[in-house]
Amino acid sequence: MLYIVSTTGLCNLCCRYCGGSISEEVMPHEVQYDIEKLARLVGDDPDATVAFYGGEPLLRIPLISEMMEKLPAKRFVVQTNGTPLDELPQELLCRFDAILVSLDGRRHVTDTNRGEGVYDRVVANVEKIRPIFGGDLIARMAVSEECGIYEDVMHLFSLDFDHVHWQLNAIWASDDSWTDFGKWIYESYNPGITRLKELWLGEMKKGKILGIVPFQGIVRRMFFGGEGVPCGAGSTSFAVATDGRILACPICGEYEWNRIGELGKETVQSLRGRVGINEPCRSCDVYAICGGRCLFANREGHWKQEQFDLVCMTVRHLAREMRDAKKRIDELLKAGTITREQLDYPQFNNTTEIIP
Compute the distance between CA of residue 95 and CA of residue 336 in angstroms, rounded to an integer: 35
CB atoms within 10 A of CB 141: 24
| The pLDDT of residue 176 | 60
CA dihedral (213, 104, 149, 338) positive or negative:
negative
**Does 298 fall in a domain?**
yes
Compute the distance between CA of residue 248 and CA of residue 73 in angstroms, rounded to an integer: 19
Q: Which residues, at least 6 apart from 356, have a Cβ–Cβ distance to it below 8 Å?
A: 143, 166, 167, 168, 214, 314, 315, 318
One digit per residue, pLDDT tens: the chain, 356 residues?
Answer: 999 999 999 999 999 888 789 889 889 999 999 999 999 999 999 999 999 999 999 999 999 999 999 999 999 999 999 999 999 999 999 999 999 999 999 999 999 999 999 999 999 999 999 999 999 999 999 999 999 999 999 999 999 999 999 999 886 555 567 888 899 999 999 999 999 999 999 999 999 999 999 999 999 999 999 989 999 999 999 999 999 999 999 988 888 899 999 999 999 999 999 999 999 999 999 999 999 999 988 888 777 788 888 999 999 999 999 999 999 999 999 999 999 999 999 999 999 999 99
**Does 322 fall in a domain?**
yes
Task: With CA atoms as reference, report the closest residue to 301 among 312, 288, 314.
Answer: 312
Q: Which residues, at least 6 apart from 323, have a Cβ–Cβ distance to it below 8 Å?
A: none
| The pLDDT of residue 16 | 87
**Does 313 fall in a domain?**
yes
pTM tops 0.75, yes or no: yes
Asked if residues 207 and 223 have their Cβ atoms less than 8 Å apart, the reply is no
**Does 111 fall in a domain?**
no
The domain of 194 spans 175-212+277-340
Do the bridges between strand 2-6 and strand 49-53 make them parallel or antiparallel, or are there none, so unpaired? parallel
**Beta bridge partners of residue 78, listed in sequence order:** 52, 99
If DSSP codes are grouped into helix, strand and coil, which group holds residue 241? coil
**Beta bridge partners of residue 75, listed in sequence order:** 49
**Does 83 fall in a domain?**
no
Overall number of domains in the chain: 1
Q: Is residue 316 within a helix (H) or strand (E), and if so which, with residue range?
A: helix 305-335
**Does 54 fall in a domain?**
no
| The pLDDT of residue 104 | 97
Asked if residues 213 and 149 have their Cβ atoms less than 8 Å apart, the reply is no
Asked if residues 12 and 61 have their Cβ atoms less than 8 Å apart, the reply is no
Compute the distance between CA of residue 315 and CA of residue 111 in angstroms, rounded to an integer: 27
**Does 258 fall in a domain?**
no
**Does 248 fall in a domain?**
no
What are all long-range contacts of 266-273, with beta carbons under 8 Å and residues at least 24 apart? 266/41, 267/41, 267/44, 268/1, 268/41, 268/44, 268/45, 271/1, 271/238, 271/246, 272/1, 272/235, 272/236, 273/234, 273/235, 273/236
Task: With CA atoms as reference, report the closest residue to 29 among 11, 43, 42.
Answer: 11
